[in-house]
Amino acid sequence: ILNVEQSPQSLHVQEGDSTNFTCSFPSSNFYALHWYRWETAKSPEALFVMTLNGDEKKKGRISATLNTKEGYSYLYIKGSQPEDSATYLCAFQGAQKLVFGQGTRLTINP
Amino acid sequence: DTGVSQDPRHKITKRGQNVTFRCDPISEHNRLYWYRQTLGQGPEFLTYFQNEAQLEKSRLLSDRFSAERPKGSFSTLEIQRTEQGDSAMYLCASSLASLSNSPLHFGNGTRLTVT
């Protein structure tokens, strides 16, 4: 059974602060690592798909890094805003299916 | 591109009844996935299709669950003899298999409540 772990499970951050969280995944049979943002009452929305060791992706104030050899990815949010409040999911893609972690629930306090 | 649509949005059923959900993926997407999500957990893989072929089904799924994608377009997920433990959000997603970095596009989900 593939194990994808995210930490922390939940996080409260003051508006304007920067934050980061982790996704750990198997280092074998790697194909891609996905990050999604899931806001309440909406469907999950793709942030990044990373395929190469050492990949770094950026979208506005959000960025992600990937280490496939040791099996982890970090998601960073710079200068948190209230609209960043959401659950952030990572998903490990092996040969075929995607396996999700349990998510990090981020709450931005104004 | 109208996105992924799922029907119904909500379903309340009594234990023992059968239910069927429908998913219409983005038209040019050949991969279609079903996931189940319960409170506090991430989406749990159920099954996926490439075109009309069901390529993998979770071993966690009992025989009460079946999915089809008869013409490689829309898909249905049926749960027979529902149990209270089946209460969850059922998510459908689609993607393009030909792109190595193709993200999943999710529908809004069907929330099932078994009473």
In Å, how far from its chain's centre is CA A28? 19
| Helix, strand and coil percent figures for chain A, each rounded to 5 | 5, 55, 45
CB contact (8 A) between residue B106 and residue A44 = yes
Share of chain B above pLDDT 90, in %: 79
Selecting from A31, A45, A89 the residue whose C-beta is nearest the C-beta of B42 gives A89
| Predicted confidence band of residue B99 (pLDDT cuts 50, 70, 90) | low
Selecting from B41, B45, B104 the residue whose C-beta is nearest the C-beta of A99 gives B45
**Phi-psi category of B81—alpha, beta or left, where left has phi over 0 and alpha has psi -120 to 50?**
left
Q: Is B100 on the interface with A (CB under 8 A)?
A: yes
Residues of chain B in contact with residue A91, where contact means CB-CB under 8 angstroms, are 104
| Cα torsion angle, B51, B17, B38, B111, sign | positive
CB contact (8 A) between residue B42 and residue A102 = yes
Q: How many residues does chain A have?
A: 110
Q: Is B60 on the interface with A (CB under 8 A)?
A: no
- In this predicted model, what pLDDT tens digit does every residue of B47-78 receive, in sequence order? 999 999 999 898 877 789 999 999 889 999 99
CB contact (8 A) between residue A31 and residue B105 = no
Q: Tell me if A85 sits within 8 A of A72, measured CB to CB.
A: no
Q: What is the 3-state secondary structure (H, E, C) of chain B?
A: CCCCEEECCEEEECCCCCEEEEEECCCCCCEEEEEEECCCCCCEEEEEEECCEEEEECCCCCCCEEEECCCCCCEEEEECCCCHHHCEEEEEEEECCCCCCCCCEECCCEEEEEC
Section B31-58 average pLDDT: 92
Q: Is B2 on the interface with A (CB under 8 A)?
A: no
pLDDT at A64 over 80: yes
Per-residue model confidence (pLDDT) at position A68: 95
Min distance A5 CA to chain B CA atoms (Å)? 10
Degrees to nearest 5, angle at CA A26 with A5 and B106: 60
Type of residue at B27: S
Average pLDDT, chain A: 94
Q: Tell me if B47 sits within 8 A of B54, measured CB to CB.
A: yes
CB contact (8 A) between residue A32 and residue B101 = yes
